[in-house]
Amino acid sequence: MAAGSGERLGAGKPKAFVDLGGKTMVAHAVAAFAAAHSIDRIVVVVPPSVGDELASGAGPGVVTAPGGRTRQESVAAGLDACGADVTVVAVHDAARPLITPGLVDRTVAALVPPWDAVAPGVPVADTIKIVDSRMAVLQTVDRSGMWAVQTPQVCSRAVLERVHARVATQADAATDDLSLVERAGGRVRLIEGDPTNFKVTSALDLAFAAQLLAAR
């Protein structure tokens, strides 16, 4: 998924196409998926405004599809571009450029009965507080058992299409696909992820990602 605008990063271009160590972030993610044993087809969903030249930065041998106004529309576009023979999909955010082939394979391998969807995650290390509009603290949340969810999020294509069809309005939308599976009564599990598989949302994140990439 590379259809986000990336306004918070302030790079003047879609976030997925920002340079990281000589390649775009999406190209790094594509390379990891291409090296994974469990992946045989890669579709990159790009912003509709992205031209062919920029889209080519996703990497060689991949199919690109124009995204929609919402995440749900973009995922649907990616599914349409996959081909009818694809039965299991792994939805990944290109803003997580340090994903490894091993984590991709472990996540796909974890999709076994009785689970309907699987994703990697990491335990929440910070203290979590709920605040109001004035930033007044209302509650401190017990962080034991709390995990931050990463991507790829893996499920069968049939399940993904079914839960996306239930999203009738923007108010029904979710920030990730696992949430939609949960709402539909599906069985969702997490596996242990990788702290370096973080989401790049700021210039500081990008600088940190560049340091980690150089150290690999």
pLDDT value of residue 56? 59
The fold for domain 7-111+152-187+195-215 equals Spore Coat Polysaccharide Biosynthesis Protein SpsA; Chain A (3.90.550)
Domain ranges in the chain are 7-111+152-187+195-215
φ, ψ (nearest 5 deg) of residue 79: -65, -40
Q: State the CB neighbour count (10 A cutoff) for residue 102.
A: 13
pLDDT value of residue 174? 75
pLDDT value of residue 60? 63
Indicate the angle between helix axes 71-82 and 157-165, nearest 10 degrees: 140
pLDDT value of residue 72? 83
Local mean pLDDT, 10-residue blocks, the chain (216 residues): 67 82 92 94 84 57 83 88 93 96 98 97 96 97 94 96 78 80 95 97 94 93
Distance CA 148, CA 160 (A): 21
- Residue with structure tokens 């242990």? 192
DSSP string covering 37-61, please? TT----EEEE-TT--HHHHGGG-TT
pTM for this entry:
0.90
